[in-house]
């Protein structure tokens, strides 16, 4: 049985690093979703222009 300071140290480490990892992955997946949505919108626009041209 360790004292409270050891549990607190490892607990704070897990919370801070875990939080940073979760936030980083969430931000990355949001950025990927935004880029994918824009790419899809751009390709739809191109298709519309091609149809108009034809």
Partner 1 sequence: MLKALENISALYANPTRFMGLAAKLHMPLWALAIGLLAYGLYRVANVPADYQQGETVRIMFVHVPAAWMSLFGYSFIFFASVTALIFRHPLGHVAARAAAPVGAVFTLLALITGSLWGQPMWGTWWVWDARLTSVLVLLFIYLGYIALWQAIDEPIRAARAASILAIVGFINVPIVKFSVDWWNTLHQPASVSRLARPALHADFLYPLLIMGAAFLVLFLAITLTRMQMEVLRQRLRARAGKGGAAHV
When the beta carbons of 26 and 49 are compared against partner 1, the nearer one is 26
Instruction: For CA atoms 5, 8, 13, 16, give the dihedral sign.
Output: negative
Give the shortest CB-50-to-partner 1 separation in angstroms.
21
Query: How many angstroms separate the first and last alpha carbons of the chain?
Result: 77
Residue 47 Cβ vs partner 1, minimum distance, rounded to whole Å: 18
What are φ and ψ of residue 3, in 5° steps? -85, 170
x/- map, 12-31, partner 1, by CB under 8 A: xx--xx--xx--xx-xx--x
2 is a site residue for partner 1 (CB under 8 A): yes
């Amino acid at each position: 049985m360790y004292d409270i300071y050891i549990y607190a140290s490892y607990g704070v480490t897990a919370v801070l690093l875990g939080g940073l990892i979760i936030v980083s992955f969430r931000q990355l997946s949001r950025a990927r979703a935004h880029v994918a949505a824009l790419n899809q919108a751009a390709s739809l626009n191109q298709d519309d222009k091609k149809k108009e041209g034809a």
